[in-house]
Amino acid sequence: MKWLRSRAALAAISVLALTLVPLSKRVDGFRVGSKKFTESVVLGEAVTLMARNAGVPVLHARELGGTRVLFEALKSGSIDVYAEYTGTIAEEILAGSQPSDRSPSPAADLEPMRTALQRLGIGLSEPLGFNNGYGIGMLEERARELRIETLSDLASHPDLALGFSSEFMDRADGWPALRQAYGLPQPNVAGMDHDLAYRQLTSGEIDGVDVYTTDADIEYYGLRVLEDDRAHFPRYDAVLLYRLDLATRAPELLASILRLEGTLDERSMRAMNAKARLERIPESQVAGSFLEDTLSIDMGDARDAGTKSVGARIWRRTLEHLQLVRLSFVLAVLIGLPLGVLAAKASRLGAVILGVVGVIQTIPALALLVLLIQPVAALGLPSVGAGSVAAIAALFLYSLLPIVRNTCDGLRSLSPDLQESARALGLPASSRLLSIELPLASRTILAGLKTALVLNIGFATLGALIGAGGYGQPILTGIRLDDHGLILEGAVPAAAMALAAQALFSVLDRVWIPKGLRLANPA
Amino acid sequence: MCAVTERSHPTFLRDRYNEASRRLRVAGSVHYPRHSVISLKKVAKSFGDAAAVEDLDLEIAAQETTVLIGPSGCGKSTLLRMMLGLLPPTSGQVCFQGEPVTPLTSASLRQRLGYVIQGGGLFPHLTAEGNVTLLARHLGRDADWIQARVVELANTARLDEALLQRYPLEMSGGQQQRVALMRALMLDPDVLLLDEPLGALDPIVRAELQEDLRHAFRSLGKTVVLVTHDLMEARYFADSIVLMQAGRMLQIGTYEDLVERPAAPFVTRFVSAQRPAFASGASA
């Protein structure tokens, strides 16, 4: 009991310190979200700058994830506004809730969509101006040479070779539908990797590729996007989705961001994408210059607010990362230890517990994160963004296995002689557990905790997939921008934190493993 | 229920004892227990299909040292564990001071029994003193009392007090056994059960500890049940020896009974296999 009591205080203090010390101050104000691709981030920056320009404190939760994540975050109030596309709203967000009109004509038929969204408490802006849909791109020179301007023009050139991404080849609304709509005769159509397609295009082996109409690559390779003269492709007009309560909570903010309506044509968006992606100019600067030029808004300080020194960025990521790790880990210890004891003591229940915990471990991280968003949001907890409870819950679940299994193994592998001695002494089961069995198993249990913590620190980088921040954020951005420096900015500190956790445990081993046991095995 | 069997109402016990004695052909020197502390009635234990103990009746006499002896696997350790309530019998009943030993009562009963297993079974994460005082502290005994008791027991077990702060892994086998004895005696139990307490020790340490153990048993006046496979050790300690083979009790008696009045051919074989050569030479 002495072993226990002296350390119980220590444990209580460390748990309190771990969970209660605030790591990042809670950001008051409004939150703009963006998806994890460059255009969405640029738009997010533009919205953020417009809001700051109206004098409202806002935070840009960058690269939160995909459509589901963003929309759930908007619905649950984790974010207040983000840029979406009409096609996506029709096909993904409202799919099933309204008669599917696969090709909403430009700007005309937003009303049914607006009504449907209104029921969810969400407002829909007018289109920002550009359409980021499917298109067919040809080298400008080649198109001029063949006098091809529209998709209809393709019909008279049956010998053109086309190379499409496999997604475009397979989707019903991709090549099969396009071929039918325009009566295209080309027999020479191949499915291939998108990057490869661009290379073949520039070397003249193929004549046309599928593109997104605002893709930075269009600028980069000097492509002409053929006009969709029969309005075949669904429209992906950029719009803003925002919480309707902004109208009362921050009318000046809403008014300011809605000034973006109709200001952005495809050419400007493509140029901005190219600057951000190809020239690696920070998105805030790209968006800022655009707003200054187009809307003659003086961005001044607002634009620089986003850029920070590397040190400051890493420090902030460290705090975010620690936030994810400490909450999930402490929770995993508090739940995992009793589960491990239960598993060791009740053999049948134990098999069930170990089975379930083991299966959780096999769920792919991304799936688990996304699966957790909805239930977490339903509980009214922040589901995405910094402090995401979904990310913490996922990390908690992943940390359980090593803790439960080692606790169980540690207790099960105690020497039968010692267990018999303890029973023969007449100690009740609870005291045997606390004074004898747990201390004797402490080495194995601590090894489990160490494994859990190190894994947790690694897994926590995935939290960035749903905008939870941490070291995963620069890694994701780095992957998006193909910027190795940025990837290292996340990967190196993450590795360092894992090493620090190892070191911490070699100290904890000295404190927690009773001296009498350490004599046996000085390693 | 178990009757507390005493001299004042001995009929039932004496009858049964006599019957058992007849059956075992124990002649002459049977001493009736003044008071039976542990009684086993028709006790059997099997593990799966294998019978470890078969249909066994035994009374452990108060303040005497009873030694259970027999070859490996004869069921002597199983019997000891059933007395402690560590193993429930498959059939039959074990009583401790008149109370039936059941899974419900066994934990509290065990606090009135001291148990020493082969190798000591000391908890390696606790110091010698921590081991000795564990249960007393759990029961909330007064710290001064505990301190005084530890000093007294160190004396009884002839353990250097300086060793009390050591961990088991820092002690020799003999020292560990002394600590295990102290731990078993801490709460002044009525009965002391020892399973091969000297089994793992080298001969010199063994001889020393053997002497100290007997000294302790005699001076404390405890009821002692000791398991061994060594006949000379049994002879050294025992007021009565219970010889077992294959889960059955073959004979109860003194060493001399076993030698001079063997109840079965196996008794003779067992005895002659273990008697020192010079002893057999002397008797010839």
HEC readout, B159-204: CCHHHHHCCHHHCCHHHHHHHHHHHHHCCCCCEEEEECCCCCCCHH
- State how far the alpha carbon of A431 is from the alpha carbons of A21, A216, A423, A439, in Å: 33, 68, 10, 11
CA distance A211 to A216: 10
Chain B residues touching A416 at Cβ < 8 A: none
CB contact under 8 A, A420 and B107: no
CA–CA distance, B185 with B112 (Å, rounded to integer): 10
Window 499-518 of A, Cβ < 8 Å to B: 514-517
Q: Would you call A313 exposed, middle or buried from its count of C-beta atoms within 10 A (0-12, 13-18, 19+)?
A: middle
Using a CB-CB cut-off of 8 Å, the residues of chain A touching B121 are 417-418, 420-421, 424
Q: Which of B81, B123, B134 sits opposite A418 (nearest CB)?
A: B123
State the pLDDT confidence band at A371, using cuts at 50, 70 and 90: confident
**Mean pLDDT to the nearest integer, A251-262:** 90
pLDDT value of position A238: 93
pLDDT, tens only, A469-494? 889 888 888 887 778 888 899 999 99
User: Are residues B138 and A2, on separate chains, in Cβ contact within 8 Å?
Assistant: no
Q: Do B170 and A1 touch (CB under 8 A)?
A: no
The residue in chain B having the minimum alpha-carbon distance to the alpha carbon of residue A439 is B125
**Does B240 fall in a domain?**
yes
Residues of B in contact with A6 (CB under 8 A): none
Q: Per-residue pLDDT for A83 more than 90?
A: yes
Q: Is the pLDDT of residue A422 over 50?
A: yes
Whether residue B16 lies inside any domain: the answer is no
Is B121 in Cβ contact with A2 (below 8 Å)? no
Contacts of B135 in chain A (CB under 8 A): 425-427
pLDDT computed for residue A446 by the predictor: 92
Sign of CA dihedral B108, B112, B113, B119: positive
Q: What are the tokens at A320?
A: 């975010």
Residue B189 clears pLDDT 70, i.e. is over it: yes
Mean per-residue pLDDT of chain B: 81
Helix and strand totals (H; E) in chain B: 11, 10
The reply to whether A424 touches chain B by the CB within 8 Å rule is yes
Residue A165 pLDDT more than 60? Answer: yes
Determine whether the interchain pair B117/A421 forms a contact, defined as Cβ–Cβ distance below 8 Å: yes
Give the minimum alpha-carbon distance from B121 to chain A in angstroms, rounded to a whole number.
Answer: 5
Interface of A with B in 348-367 (CB under 8 A): none
Judging contacts by C-beta atoms under 8 Å, the chain A residues touching residue B81 are 420
Q: A509 near A443, Cβ under 8 Å?
A: yes
**Residue-range domains of chain A with CATH:** 30-131+236-304 (3.40.190.10), 134-225 (3.40.190.120), 309-520 (1.10.3720.10)
How many Å lie between the alpha carbon of B8 and the closest alpha carbon of chain A? 32
User: pLDDT digit string (tens) for B127-167?
Assistant: 999 999 998 988 888 999 999 999 988 988 888 888 999 99
pLDDT value at position B201? 78
DSSP element (H, E) containing B92:
strand B91-96
Interface list for chain B against chain A, based on CB atoms closer than 8 Å? 81, 84, 86, 107-111, 113, 115, 117-119, 121-127, 130, 134-135, 137-138, 167-170, 183
State yes or no: pLDDT of A98 exceeds 80.
Answer: no
Decide: A141 and A188 in contact? Cβ < 8 Å.
Answer: no
Chain B residue with CA closest to A440: the answer is: B125
pLDDT in tens, A167-198: 788 777 788 888 888 989 988 888 888 778 88
Give the pLDDT band (50/70/90) at residue A519: confident
Report the sign of the C-alpha dihedral through residues A106, A108, A112, A117, in that order.
positive
Residue B17 tokens, joined: 């004892």
Local structure of B74: helix, strand or coil: coil
CA B139 remoteness from chain centre? 25
Q: Of B115, B118, B167, which has the smallest distance from its Cβ to A516's Cβ?
A: B167
Record: contact B117-A425, CB cut-off 8 A: no
Provide the pLDDT for residue B27. 38
What is the reported pLDDT for A522?
Answer: 44
Q: pLDDT band for B173, please (50, 70, 90 cuts).
A: confident
Residue B98 structural domain: 31-112+211-222+235-274
Kindly tell me the sign of the dihedral angle through the C-alpha atoms of B197, B200, B203, B208. negative
pLDDT at A342 over 90: yes
Give the CA count within 13 Å in the CB-facing half-sphere of A91. 16
For every residue of A282-312, which 3-state class applies, written as one string? CHHHHHHHHHHHHHCCCCCHHHHCCCCCHHH
Q: Is residue B199 part of a domain?
A: no
Query: CA A59, A65, A71 angle in degrees (round to 5)?
Result: 75
**Does B183 contact A1 at a Cβ distance shorter than 8 Å?**
no
Task: Flag if B167 and A440 touch (Cβ within 8 Å).
Answer: no
Where would I find the H helices in A363-483? 365-378, 389-412, 416-425, 429-431, 438-440, 442-459, 472-481
Assess: ipTM above 0.85: no
Closest A-chain CA to B115: A424
The Cα A441–Cα A411 span in angstroms is 6
Is there a contact between A520 and B124 if contact means CB atoms under 8 Å apart?
Answer: yes
Q: How many domains does chain B fold into?
A: 1
Q: Given CB atoms, is A285 within the 8 Å cutoff of chain B? A: no
Statement: residue B32 has pLDDT above 90? no
The residues, ordered by sequence, that sit 6+ positions from A94 with a Cβ below 8 Å of its Cβ are A113, A116, A117
Q: What is the number of other CB atoms lying within 10 angstroms of the CB of residue A41?
A: 27
Which chain A residues contact residue B118 at CB under 8 A?
417
* Residue B78 counted as domain residue: yes
Question: Beta-strand (E) ranges in A76-212?
Answer: 81-85, 122-124, 134-139, 162-164, 189-191, 208-212
B94 within a domain of the structure (yes/no): yes
Spatial separation of the C-alpha atoms in residues A277 and A272, rounded to whole Å: 8
Residues on chain B touching A443 (C-beta within 8 angstroms)? none
- Model pTM? 0.69
Cα nearest neighbour of B116 on chain A? A421
Distance CA A152, CA B29 (A): 122
- Picking from A5, A425, A438, A440 by the largest number of B CB atoms within 10 A of its own CB, the best residue to mutate is A425
Contact A414/B at CB under 8 A: no
Q: Is residue B11 part of a domain?
A: no
B116 and B196 in contact (C-beta within 8 Å)?
A: no
Check if the beta carbon of residue A181 is closer than 8 Å to that of residue A230.
yes
pLDDT value, residue A62: 82
Sequence letter at residue B6: E
- B223-228 vs B65-69, strand pairing mode: parallel
**Which token pair is B43?**
């006790």
What residues of A are in contact with residue B84 (Cβ under 8 Å)?
424
pLDDT, greater one: A492 or B204: A492
Answer yes or no: do B135 and A427 touch at CB < 8 A. yes
Q: Say if residues B118 and B199 touch (Cβ distance below 8 Å).
A: yes
Three-state secondary-structure class, residue A253: helix
For residue B250, tell me if it sits in a domain: yes
B165: closest CA of chain A, how far (Å): 11
Give chain B's radius of gyration (CA, Å): 19
**pLDDT, average across residues A393-400:** 91
Pairing mode of beta strands B36-47, B50-61: antiparallel
CATH code for the domain in which residue B94 is found? 3.40.50.300
Cβ atoms of A50 and A260 within 8 Å: the answer is yes
B283 vs A370, higher pLDDT: A370
Looking up tokens 């019903």 gives A172
Classify strands A81-85 and A30-35 as parallel, antiparallel or unpaired.
Answer: parallel
Instruction: Considering only the beta carbons, identify the residue of B119, B124, B183 that sits closest to A516.
Output: B124
Residue B26: its pLDDT value, please?
Answer: 40
Considering the domain boundaries, does residue B264 fall inside one?
Answer: yes
Residue that has been written with the tokens 């439960």 in this structure: A404
Mutation choice for A interface testing from B106, B123, B188, B192 by most A CBs within 10 A: B123
Q: Which residues of A touch B188 (CB under 8 A)?
A: none
CA dihedral of A345, A346, A352, A355, whole degrees rounded to 10: 20
